[in-house]
Structure 1
C-alpha cells in the first residue's frame, strides 16, 4: 500500500540550549517501553508523591516525528492572521473552555502586566470545532498525535500510578476514555519576549506558580529554559530539557482522586536565562482530564490534603473561567488565593 504523502510544513527553528549553569530539579525517569511492574510503579508513585513531575522516555515517537509536531505547532501562530485568530478565539470566561485561541494579554500577571503568550487548543475530538485554514491539512496528524498521547503515554502512566496505590491496574484508565464527553485537548503554545519594564514589574515571572486542573499534563520537552517547579524544600528549580523526552506532571484531579497521595505540582514559567532571551518558546502539550461526569473524590479511603466534591466538568469550567481573571487575596506569605467550588486554589508569586 502506498505511503500517504504528508503536506509540507515550514520548519520551526528552536533556540539553542542555554549556556548558563542552572539549578535543575533532579527528576526521575520512566521508560514507557517497559511493562507495568510493581517495581516501575513504585518509581512512578514516589516521583508523583515527592515531586509531582517525572520524565518519560521511549514513548513511541521518534525525534523526527516530534520535530514535525513542533513544526505543525508553529502554524497557528505564524501562518494565521490576527483577524482569523480572533474569529477562532474561545469565549473562555463565559464557557469555561479553552477550545480555540487564547490570545495574548488575556491574563493579568501582576502590577498591571498581562501575559505575552498565546495558545491554540484542539479537543481530542478534532471535529468538535472548525479550525483555521492553514491548520486544516494537518488535522489527520494532530488527531493521530492525540490518540498516541492518550493510549501510548497517558494510559501507561495511569496504570503505573494505579498499581502504585495497590488499585486495579485500569482504575484510572477506565475514567479517562478517549471517546467520552470531556475536554482533554492538544495545546500548541507560544511565549513571546517581554519588555524590560514588564520583567521588572513582575519580577521576571511570566506565569505565576500554579497547579493544572486536570489529571495528567504531558509536555514535549523543548530547549528554552523557563519552566520551574516548587521543590519539596521550597526552592524553585528549573526543569531541564531532555531531547525527545516527555515531562509529565500531576494535576488537581489526580490529587483529588488519589486522596492527596499524588500532589498537584506547583510550577511556573519565568524569563529564560540571558543566553536565551529574545527567542520565542514553543510548546506542545496534551492536557488530560477524567471524563466529565467523574466525581473528583478519593477513590480509596485516605486522608487527603485537598478534597474535591464537584465533577470534572464543573471543576475544569470553574478553574478555566477564573484563571487570570478573578480577584485574588493575599495570604501574607507571598501567595495569592481564591476559593473555587469550595477548594482553596493558590497562585505563587
Structure 2
C-alpha cells in the first residue's frame, strides 16, 4: 500500500435509511469462494444467472479493507470542496467536443426534465492517473487513488469477467483479455457528488436525479455507499432500490457486454432518485469505475460461445460493428445534451451510431 501522505478531513455520511422501501433482490458474487474449485462452479452459475436476468449484482469478499475505501471517499471530497471554481474550470472536461469525461463535469450540464438541469458534479481520472495533470490538492494522493483503480479493475472486474466467460462456456480469460489494464484501455475512475435540490426542482422532475438508462461501457463498478438513491428497473419492470452493503461493490453490466454476449447478458437499466426522507438534505458522494474493452476492439458477439450458438443472437449492432473507441466517444458526447424523442410507451430515445438508446423517466 502506498504510504499515506497526510491526514484528510473525514467525510461523514448519514446513517443508513430506516425507511420501508422496496429493495431489489440482488445476487452476491463471492470472490473468495470463487478462488476454490468447489466454490468456483457455484459462483459461475450465480454470476451467469444474475447477469442473464438482471445485469446487476454485488461483489463481496474481494480482499480490500473498508478503511481504504473510506479513505478514497475522503480524498474524493477534496476534489469538490478544496478546489476553487477557477481551477475546476481549468480541468473541465470538453465532453461534447472530445467524447471524453476526463476532468470535471460541472453541475447544470445535463437536462433532466421540464427545464431543470442536473446538480451533479464529478471528477474523472483515467485508468492510468499519470496520463494527465490533476488539481493541486489531489496530486499527493494520486498513488492511493491509483491503487484502488488497479484493484477494482484487476481484482474485482477481471475476476468477475472470468466467471462470466465461463458462464458463456468460453475460456476464463476471454473477457479479461478484452479488458486489459494497458495503454489500449480507456477505463476511468470517477468521484461523483450529488447535491440536494429544491422542492420545486423535485416536483418538476418527479424526484428523478438521473434518468433511467443503461451504461454504454462493458461494466460499471460502484463502491457501495450509505445514501439510498440508486434504483434498478428489475426483471419484472418495477423500479426497486439497491440496498447499501458494507464494503461491497455494486456491479452492473453495460451495453457493450450485452452486445458481446448477443443479448444473453442483460445491460442493467438504472436511475438515481431523491433519497428517502431520513436522508434528505445530505450530499451523496460515490466512487465509481467504468470499464471498457481496448479501444480497437469491435463490439461484436462472441460467436464461438456454445451458449450463443444454442440460444441464438438476440441483440447486436446492425452493419459493421463500431470499435469500442467509436462507441465510447459517441455515447459520451451525446448523453444528457441531445434532444430526445418520445416513444409510445412514455420513454425517450436518441439514435447514436445507428443504435436506438432509450432513456426512462
- Output the TM-score relative to the length of structure 1: 0.97
Alignment of 1:1-349 (within 5 A): 4-35=3-34, 37-300=40-303, 301=309, 302-307=312-317, 309-349=321-361
Query: Matches of 1:3 and 1:120 in 2, distance apart?
Result: 22
Query: Matches of 2:139 and 2:314 in 1, distance apart?
Result: 44
Query: Matches of 1:117 and 1:53 in 2, distance apart?
Result: 23
Query: Matches of 2:112 and 2:168 in 1, distance apart?
Result: 37
Deviation string for 1:218-247 (max 9, x for gaps)? 000001110000011110000000111110
Query: Matches of 1:67 and 1:333 in 2, distance apart?
Result: 41
Query: Matches of 2:249 and 2:322 in 1, distance apart?
Result: 30
Query: Matches of 2:355 and 2:77 in 1, distance apart?
Result: 36
Query: Matches of 1:123 and 1:4 in 2, distance apart?
Result: 21
Deviation string for 1:8-64 (max 9, x for gaps)? 111001111112111000000011112362321111010011111001111111111
The Cα of 1:306 is off from its aligned counterpart by: 3.9
Query: Matches of 2:42 and 2:334 in 1, distance apart?
Result: 40
Query: Matches of 1:297 and 1:31 in 2, distance apart?
Result: 29
Over the residues paired in the alignment, what is the CA RMSD in angstroms?
1.3
Query: Matches of 2:57 and 2:156 in 1, distance apart?
Result: 13
List gaps (5 residues or longer) in structure 1. none
List gaps (5 residues or longer) in structure 2. 304-308
Structure 1 or 2: more helix by fraction: 2
Aligned 8 A contact 2:2 2:143 in 1 = no
The Cα of 1:313 is off from its aligned counterpart by: 0.3
Query: Matches of 1:262 and 1:90 in 2, distance apart?
Result: 32
Structure 1 range deviating more: 90-99 or 36-45: 36-45
Query: Matches of 1:82 and 1:58 in 2, distance apart?
Result: 39
2:306 matched residue in structure 1: none
Question: CA 1:3/1:43 → structure 2, altered by over 3 Å: closer, same or farther?
Answer: closer
Aligned 8 A contact 1:210 1:348 in 2 = yes
- Output the TM-score relative to the length of structure 2: 0.94
